[in-house]
Amino acid sequence: MPEALKIGTPKETFPGENRVAMTPDSARQLQKLGYSCLVQSGAGTAAGFSDQAYEEAGVEIVKTAASLWKKADIVTKVRPPDDKELGYLAKGKTLISFFNPGGNADGLDKAKASGANVIAMEMVPRISRAQKMDALSSMANIAGYRAVIEAGNNFGRFFTGQITAAGKVPPAKVLVVGAGVAGLAAIGTSTSLGAITYAFDVRPEVAEQVESMGAEFVYLDFQEEQQDGAATGGYASVSSPEFREAQLAKFRELAPEMDIVITTALIPNRDAPKLWLEDMVKAMKPGSVIIDLAAERGGNVEGTVQDEKVVTENGVTIVGYTDFPSRMASQASTLYATNIRHMMTDLTPAKDGQVNHNMEDDVIRGATVTYEGEITFPPPPPKVQAIAAKSKEKPKELTPEERREKEAAAFKAQTKQQVSLLAIGGLAMLLVGLVAPASFMQHFIVFVLSVFVGFQVIWNVSHSLHTPLMAVTNAISSIIILGALMQIGSGSLLVILLAGVSVFMAGINIFGGFLVTRRMLAMFQKS
């Protein structure tokens, strides 16, 4: 049996990067897959993971990055490798990290020349099976949450409205541009803080998600056929110039009303589109805040300065930080390390500490950018399309004549059915009446009619109304009680006993039905 491969995580070299690609918990899980784990000394300190915590998890501590790269067969990182780290790559090694293959041609060439296999975590396809490995979504979720927290830190009022003895404080109005993972996280955080939240996205299919989170979706008076999100990997596509103009006009209308604007719009391998222009910034009230989550790709806002906070002449604060996940390093590292661990699980189906780099697998193939001395970026489209909302076909509106014809046909069919049932029932009564005594037939006919009427009433009521319908069925219970009371005076002990039981059970149904109905109706009443 071959020796177990070693997975190593060096300390991040990018300035200000606090995340780490392996945590003590993820190391324990990787060891269960058969791997040995290495980590450079101090790699997790900034994220709150000490060398001692790694040692307790069975991880070997390596002093230098060069030594770790030499010992490790698989290297996991957060940031794309720099030139020095690319020089450590060699044939037979595997690198798993963010890599930016669309804007890193030099890095791809060096990785190809080294013969190493490189898996870019941002290239994990957005299909259902790969959600557990989707590092972009994990980091975007944190960025969206942190954006609202940063906005609150720079905003001079409450998010929620308050009425105090000192006066009334109106709720903040927040606009989130882009309802992807980061946008939805920002919407959820904003609404939970009590702000009046609006959201815009070029994909109308996300409106339902936005509204389900308590925000209001901003619609445009513009009809344009949008490309299915499945065809673009779950991302928004480039809009037409006409759509863009309608979009900007809507933003100009909203700008004076908004207290906080959070922009999240990004298109893969493109500069961020400019959505919040200078005149919109000038139209905002003094003290307003803009958080530009696309600052790393040029920003969605005119006036954004990467990694800086700018205050405009009219008192609007524009925040262009690009390290929101790094500002929550412990949580971000935990999520990212879990994404990598799931990737390693797919790469190790036998759990024997050996990598099976299956290029026939949609997820592995999609994320691999260099393999055995060849550049494999861009990948072919996955066999299973990305998650996208299915377009709902609008039902054809009927003309008044067609509606009348449909109702008449339905009435005829229902009448035919009921007449047939009554005819069959009548025939059955006649057949039974030939052999049964008259006293039995009286009760039997009432019983059959009760079953028929009850079936017709209950069957045509919506399932959601069945419980409130208990209040109506109390009438049936009342009839049972009346019948039972009439029989209590009978000379038969058995009949008296059965009648008493009937009164008791029907009474429970009556009182219990009213109590249940009252409680259910109270649930839907607004105080």
Of 134, 259, 292, 323, catalytic: 134
- What is the full DSSP assignment across 337-386? HHHHHHHHHHH-TT-SS-----TTSHHHHHHEEEETTEE-PSPPPPSSPP
Query: Which letter does DSSP use for residue 303 in this model?
Result: T
Of 31, 41, 235, 252, catalytic: 235
Distance CA 113, CA 115 (A): 6
**Would strands 173-177 and 260-263 be described as parallel, antiparallel, or unpaired?**
parallel
On the question of a cis peptide bond just before residue 241, with omega within 30 degrees of 0, the verdict is no
Asked if 141 and 396 touch (Cβ cutoff 8 Å), the reply is no
The CA dihedral of 462, 463, 465, 468, to the nearest 10 degrees, is 150
Query: Which letter does DSSP use for residue 301 in this model?
Result: B
* Residue 137 falls in the annotated catalytic set: yes
E-assigned strands of 214-328?
Answer: 216-217, 260-263, 289-292, 309-311, 317-319
> Distance of alpha carbon 31 from its chain centroid, rounded?
31
* Residue 518 falls in the annotated catalytic set: no
* Residue 219 falls in the annotated catalytic set: no
Bridge partners, 325 (sequence order): none
Asked if 311 and 290 touch (Cβ cutoff 8 Å), the reply is no
Residue type, 210: V
- Can you tell me whether residue 147 is helix, strand or coil? helix
Of 19, 126, 203, 341, catalytic: 126
Cα–Cα nearest to 17, from 270, 316, 324, 398? 324
Q: Which two tokens stand for residue 274?
A: 């400019």
Distance CA 31, CA 59 (A): 9
Of 29, 40, 137, 288, catalytic: 137
Of 31, 67, 131, 487, catalytic: 131
- Can you tell me whether residue 13 is helix, strand or coil? coil
State how far the alpha carbon of 451 is from the alpha carbons of 423, 458, 476, 515, in Å: 16, 10, 11, 26
103's torsion region: left (phi>0), alpha (psi -120 to 50) or beta? alpha
* Residue 126 falls in the annotated catalytic set: yes
Q: Which two tokens stand for residue 441?
A: 């037939």
* Residue 330 falls in the annotated catalytic set: no
Query: Which letter does DSSP use for residue 507 in this model?
Result: H
Residue type, 96: I
Positions marked catalytic? 126, 131, 134, 137, 235
